[in-house]
Structure 1
Amino acid sequence: MIQVEKLSKRYGDHHAVRDVSFTCAPGTVTGFLGPNGAGKSTIMRMICGLTAPTAGRASVLGVPYRTIPNPGRHVGVLLDAAARHPGRSGRETLLLAARAQGVPDARVDAVLDEVGLASAAKRRVGGYSFGMRQRLGIAQALLGDPAVLILDEPSSGLDPEGIHQMRGLLRGFADRGGTVLLSSHLLFEVESVADRFVMIARGRLVAQGAKDELTQGRSGAVVRAADDPAALRSALAADGLAVREARADRAFVVDAEPALVGRAAARAGVALAELHGTAGVGLEELFLSLTGSPEAGEGAR
């Protein structure tokens, strides 16, 4: 179980995270989504006690992470795949961690095999590709046979086979009762494995829930002006109709029935080139409409 309650972090006048709350339950994978710079890494560092919050609190397994004795036996963490000594082999890296945690040496070989690094175990980490370092970080997170995994962008640098393998590994972990918090700025990386989603943008929580909960009831209309998109937007605003998304083809996705959109355009004398209903939105469309462009943000990961 992971609980985040009204977490905020401010650096001077800059609000990196503002009043974020969510829960990750046992037996689930929670996809933690947001553009680069949205505040995901800052929140994960606060959960793990590496960054002090300005306000709010976070707990793992019911207590602050810093108070957990020998935390690697209970919580597996991957926040920075580069934080490994380049002169040691992959196996040496894990052996040191295993002995610090009181884990049998045999567990090292088991997790190396689990993440697909058995054949590279004796190679120095400095010679690993970025994807291999990601795999090593996941192996170290799994080393203590924890109940909770907290992984920041673990699929970054992995090839398609590695991403597929990671999804199966995390799905199996959750199906055995584990709790997974998995961050990414790319929805497709986590959509097939996550049970629930937490979306943030510019340090704020913008949505959370299961996929069906997030996309349910978001029907509306797609409308495109024949000549003047600005006039159409003004007409919609005058009737209190919210534009959910402005598309690249100059069409608007509006949170209203097509008939209401057509009346607003007619009253303003705006000619339309396109108007039709939409049965709903997919998770990707919702994510982009709530968080802005994939690269948006205020500089805090």
Structure 2
Amino acid sequence: MIEIENVTKRYGSQTAVADVSFRCETGTVTGFLGPNGAGKSTTMRILAGLTPATSGRALIDGIPYRSLPNPGRAVGVLLDASAQHPGRTGREVLTLGSMLLGLPRERVVQVLDLVGLDKKAADKRVGNYSLGMRQRLGLAHSLLGNPSTLVLDEPANGLDPEGIFWMRGLLREFADRGGTVLLSSHLLHEVEAVADHLVVIGNGRIAADGSKKELLAGAGTLVRALDPQRLGQALAQQGVKVTPTADGALLVDAEALVVGQAAAASGTVLSELRPADGAGLEALFLQLTATATAAAPAGAVNNAPMEAVR
């Protein structure tokens, strides 16, 4: 289990994350979502003991990462797949890791096979790896100690569709065997496919925290119009919150009847009007992060150092 309790991180006068709290239950995959600069990476670095929190605490099975007797045997961490020695082979990287963790050399062969790196790839220098190969090596390293918890930041970055599908199955199987996964990703459809629980962060604060089912069930109304700008203005005049989606639709925080009445009053022709449940995670993400941005105090997070709030 992962517990983030009232975590705040400040860099001088700038706040990267503010009073962040959430839990990742054993046997689940938790999708940790937010736009660039929202505070995801800062929170994960605090959890992994790489950045000290200004206040609050981050626990893995009730213990801070730095207090674990052999952290790599309890927690697998992948925060940056590029942070690997380019002059070593993939096999050498994992062999050194196995020696540090006190593992038999056979474990290196097992994880190479698990992530799909064959002998040719394993004996190639990491500097010659593609980004997708580095991600597989990073996942192999995180799994090396046979941990019960995984903390992964953008693990699918650089993977091809087949690799993304493979990773989804890997994480689902890990959780189904009783593991705990905290997964940050910009690939919303993949998170939606694998996650049990969702935590959305915006401007350093939690915007939503709940099961995938309950969060997606309350996503509002999805509408498409021949003149979406006109409809959006009509709804805004009534004080209704409207969020454009990437494919030209509008996500409206109101019932379909309200949308229909606004369309009729403004003379706007609708081509689609339905509950937004089926619009999925993208619509929810846009709605929640837009709300978090609007609610954030001026300069509270967006002016913090960029390396601090990824």
When normalised by structure 2's length, the TM-score is 0.85
Matched-pair contact (CA < 8 Å) for 1:219–1:279 = yes
> In structure 1, what is the Cα distance between the partners aligned to 2:229 and 2:74?
61
CA apart distance, 1:106: 0.1
Corresponding residue for residue 97 of structure 1: 97
1:195-210 → structure 2 map (5 Å cutoff): 195-210=196-211
Taking the aligned partners of 1:27 and 1:249, their CA distance within structure 2 comes to: 34
Aligned residue in 1 for 2:276: 280
Residue pair 2:139, 2:155 contacting (<8 A) in 1 also: yes
CA drift at 1:187: 0.5
2:44 counterpart residue number: 44
SS in 2 for 1:43: helix
Task: Decide whether the 8 Å contact of 1:219 with 1:277 is kept in 2.
Answer: no
Deviations 1:74-119 (A, max 9, x none): 1111111122111111111111110111011000000001001123
Q: What are the Cα deviations for residues 227-264 of structure 1, in whole angstroms up to 9, with x where unaligned? A: 95676245312xxxx31424689875433334445667
Determine the C-alpha separation between the residues in 2 that align with 1:169 and 1:243. 39
Q: Does 1:271 align with 2:272?
A: no
Are positions 1:111 and 2:126 aligned together? no
* Structure 1 gaps, min length 5: none
CA 1:273/1:166 → structure 2, altered by over 3 Å: closer, same or farther? same
Indicate how the Cα distance of structure 1 residues 243 and 11 shifts in structure 2: closer, same or farther if over 3 A, else same.
same
How many pairs does the alignment contain? Answer: 291
Superposed displacement of residue 271, structure 1: 2.4
Q: In structure 1, how many angstroms separate the alpha carbons of the residues matched to 2:223 and 2:187?
A: 25
Secondary structure of the equivalent of 1:63?
coil
Question: Which has more radius of gyration?
Answer: 1
Residue type at the aligned position of 1:2: I
CA distance in 2, matches of 1:246, 1:193: 25
Q: Which residue of 2 aligns with 1:136?
A: 137
Q: CA deviation at 1:21?
A: 0.9
Deviation by residue 1:111-168 (Cα, 9 ceiling, x = unmatched): 0010011231111111111111111111010000001011111110111111111111
Distance 2:144 2:37 in 1: 30
Match of 1:232 among 228, 234, 251: 234
**2: CA distance, partners of 1:74 / 1:227:** 52
Opposite residue 45 of structure 1, the aligned amino acid is R
- Structure 2 Cα separation of the partners of residues 44 and 226 of structure 1: 38
| 3-state SS in 1 of match to 2:194 | coil
Partner of 1:155: 156
1:191 alignment partner AA: E
User: What percentage of residue pairs aligned between the two structures are identical?
Assistant: 57
For 1:193-228, what per-residue CA distance to the aligned partner results, in whole angstroms no more than 9, with x for missing partners?
A: 111111111211111222210022444474867995
Q: Residue 180 of structure 1 aligns to which amino acid in structure 2?
A: V
Moved more, 216-225 or 120-129: 216-225
Tell me, in whole angstroms, the C-alpha distance in 1 between the residues paired with 2:162 and 2:250: 38
- Once the two structures are TM-superposed, the CA of residue 265 in structure 1 deviates from its matched residue by 8.0
TM-score for both structures, normalised by structure 1 = 0.87
Aligned pairs for 1:50-89 (under 5 A) are 50-89=50-89
Secondary structure (helix, strand or coil) at the match of 2:208 reads: strand
Of 251-260 and 88-97, more deviation after overlay is shown by 251-260
Partner residue of 1:243 out of 218, 241, 246: 241
- Secondary structure of the residue that 1:182 maps to in structure 2? strand
Are 2:26 and 1:31 aligned? Answer: no
| Partner SS state of residue 192, structure 1 | helix
Q: Find the aligned partners of 1:230 and 1:210 in 2 and give their Cα distance.
A: 30
Cα-Cα RMSD: 2.6
Aligned to 1:289: 287
Per residue, is there more helix in 1 or in 2?
A: 2
Taking the aligned partners of 1:110 and 1:249, their CA distance within structure 2 comes to 43
Say whether the 8 Å CA contact 2:9–2:55 is kept in structure 1: yes
Shift of 1:53: 1.1
**How far apart in 2 are the matches of 1:203 and 1:67?**
26
- Which sits farther off after the overlay, 81-90 or 59-68? 81-90
- Partners in 2 of 1:248 and 1:25 — Cα distance? 32
